[in-house]
């Protein structure tokens, strides 16, 4: 009898449902489980996106360094800090290109040093790269039947420019990397070695008037002859070709002014290497782990120096080496900033 009554009480208790306390505890456990699953899912998504951003900034950094390395691989002269380098820098026509940051600096060539962090009061490291490179060889047959080959060069400049207000303590971005490319310049030394004045004039007329070369290819017009890495204002360093193939030791009126000015090849210039890709050169205000300012002490004067683009040039002309250190940061502000820190050393011909 007692057993039957006990079974009836248990059945009644079960049919009566859960108590309020039991429901509350169960609800809390469900909510905690949902919160845990959601948090883990969001953390996983953020980690995945950060990994994707890191892969992207690494890819872009490598692409930029590859472009710089290819240019340096065909370099025929490096412009370092000093009168010659500054003279050529002042002669560049930068119309249409963004301005360089105020602390833009060409590296000082150290013929007996090695690649290492600058010490003491000596600063060799720059945050700009400035050089002349081989572009193509023109092959032309004159009416005399002789075939002449003339090397053609271009001057290139990589430099930092401020964007979106420039470097700022509140964020690690605000710098773009720009690439300026000059008009073509013919090797004046090669043309001077031509014994026939008539042939030399014919070749110059061919270069400036863009007639087809010996293989039938039509190239860009070449209006300047260049003697190489000597002071730009020295007599004969630059000579301009007129339409008849004659040479002038002073700039022609069409170039404007009396001082030599080297014009850009607009279609080859790139004023916006990084911003359209949603990346920036890392500034001095980046995390210390980003690798900025590895080779020189940071400065906050004049928009800061050096930021995430450092250049060193060492060794004698016969064994010149160029270090390029580049640190980029993603401009995506959703979550952790993604950085990439890379460097390359290039052997450069510098006669």
Report residue 119's pLDDT band, with 50, 70 and 90 as the boundaries.
Answer: confident
Does residue 173 sit in the same domain as residue 292?
A: yes
**Does some domain include residue 45?**
no
Report residue 332's pLDDT band, with 50, 70 and 90 as the boundaries.
Answer: confident
pLDDT higher for 6 or 217? 217
Residue 9 has pLDDT above 70, yes or no: no
Give the chain's end-to-end CA distance (angstroms, integer).
115
Pairing of strands 279-281, 75-78: unpaired
CA 68 to chain centre: 7
pLDDT at 49: 83
Does residue 23 sit in the same domain as residue 147?
A: no
Residue 45 has pLDDT above 80, yes or no: no
Tell me how far apart the alpha carbons of residues 112 and 99 are, in angstroms, rounded to a whole number: 33
Report the SS3 class of residue 180. strand
User: CB of 131 within 8 A of CB of 75?
Assistant: yes
Does residue 153 sit in the same domain as residue 24?
A: no
Does residue 136 sit in the same domain as residue 17?
A: no
**Does some domain include residue 44?**
no
Range of the domain at 311: 51-348
DSSP for 214-242, written as a single string = TTS-------EEE--SS-TTSTTSEEEE-
Average pLDDT over residues 66-94: 95
Does residue 130 sit in the same domain as residue 19?
A: no
**Does some domain include residue 235?**
yes
pLDDT higher for 25 or 267? 267
Tell me how far apart the alpha carbons of residues 57 and 64 are, in angstroms, rounded to a whole number: 11
Does residue 89 sit in the same domain as residue 23?
A: no
**Does some domain include residue 40?**
no
Supply the mean pLDDT for the chain. Answer: 90
**Does some domain include residue 148?**
yes
Does residue 108 sit in the same domain as residue 214?
A: yes
pLDDT at 328: 97
Instruction: Enumerate the β-bridge partners of residue 186.
Output: 152, 225
pLDDT at 17: 59
Residue 220 has pLDDT above 80, yes or no: yes
Report the SS3 class of residue 308. coil
Does residue 18 sit in the same domain as residue 115?
A: no
Report residue 302's pLDDT band, with 50, 70 and 90 as the boundaries.
Answer: confident
Residue 226 has pLDDT above 60, yes or no: yes
Report residue 29's pLDDT band, with 50, 70 and 90 as the boundaries.
Answer: confident
Tell me how far apart the alpha carbons of residues 334 and 265 are, in angstroms, rounded to a whole number: 38
Report residue 277's pLDDT band, with 50, 70 and 90 as the boundaries.
Answer: confident
Does residue 9 sit in the same domain as residue 155?
A: no
**Does some domain include residue 321?**
yes
**pTM of the full predicted structure?**
0.86
Report residue 4's pLDDT band, with 50, 70 and 90 as the boundaries.
Answer: low
Average pLDDT over residues 127-136: 97
**Does some domain include residue 229?**
yes
Residue 158 has pLDDT above 90, yes or no: yes
Does residue 174 sit in the same domain as residue 320?
A: yes
Average pLDDT over residues 54-68: 95
Tell me how far apart the alpha carbons of residues 241 and 39 are, in angstroms, rounded to a whole number: 71
Does residue 11 sit in the same domain as residue 138?
A: no
**Does some domain include residue 242?**
yes
Does residue 22 sit in the same domain as residue 152?
A: no
> What's the structural domain count of the chain?
2
CA 61 to chain centre: 9
The two structure tokens encoding residue 61: 């950094």
Give the model confidence (pLDDT) of 191-217 as tens digits: 999 999 999 999 999 999 999 999 999
By percentage, how much of the chain surpasses pLDDT 90? Answer: 72
Average pLDDT over residues 5-9: 58
Average pLDDT over residues 150-175: 94
Report the SS3 class of residue 160. strand
Average pLDDT over residues 112-122: 88
> For 264-268, 307-311, 333-337, which range has the lowest pLDDT when averaged over its residues?
333-337
């Amino acid at each position: 009898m007692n057993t039957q009554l006990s079974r009836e009480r248990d059945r009644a208790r079960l049919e009566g449902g859960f108590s309020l306390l039991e429901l509350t505890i169960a609800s809390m456990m469900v909510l905690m489980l949902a919160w845990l699953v959601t948090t883990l899912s969001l953390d996983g998504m953020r980690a995945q996106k950060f990994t994707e951003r890191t892969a992207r900034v690494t890819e872009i950094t490598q692409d930029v360094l590859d472009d710089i390395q290819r240019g340096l691989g065909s370099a025929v002269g490096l412009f370092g800090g000093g009168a010659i380098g500054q003279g050529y820098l002042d002669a560049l026509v930068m119309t249409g290109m963004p301005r360089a940051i105020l602390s833009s600096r060409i590296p000082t060539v150290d013929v007996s040093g090695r690649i290492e962090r600058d010490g003491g009061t000596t600063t060799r490291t720059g945050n700009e790269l400035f050089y002349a490179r081989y572009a193509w060889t023109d092959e032309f047959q004159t009416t005399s039947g002789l075939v002449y080959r003339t090397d053609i060069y271009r001057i290139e400049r990589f430099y930092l420019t401020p964007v979106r207000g420039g470097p700022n303590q509140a964020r690690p971005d605000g710098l773009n990397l720009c690439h300026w490319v000059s008009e073509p310049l013919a090797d004046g030394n090669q043309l001077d070695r031509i014994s026939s004045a008539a042939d030399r004039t014919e070749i110059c007329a061919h270069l400036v008037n863009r007639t087809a070369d010996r293989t039938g290819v039509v190239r860009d017009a070449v209006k300047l002859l260049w003697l190489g890495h000597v002071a730009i204002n020295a007599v004969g360093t630059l000579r301009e070709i007129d339409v008849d193939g004659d040479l002038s030791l002073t700039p022609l009126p069409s170039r404007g002014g009396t001082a030599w000015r080297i014009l850009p090849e607009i279609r080859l210039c790139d004023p916006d290497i990084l911003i359209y890709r949603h990346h920036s050169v890392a500034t001095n205000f980046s995390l210390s782990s980003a690798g900025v300012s590895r080779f020189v002490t940071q400065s906050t004067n004049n928009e800061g120096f050096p930021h995430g683009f450092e250049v060193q040039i060492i060794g004698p002309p016969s064994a010149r080496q160029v270090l390029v250190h580049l640190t980029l940061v993603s401009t995506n502000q959703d979550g952790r900033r993604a950085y990439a820190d890379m460097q390359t050393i290039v052997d450069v011909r510098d006669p």
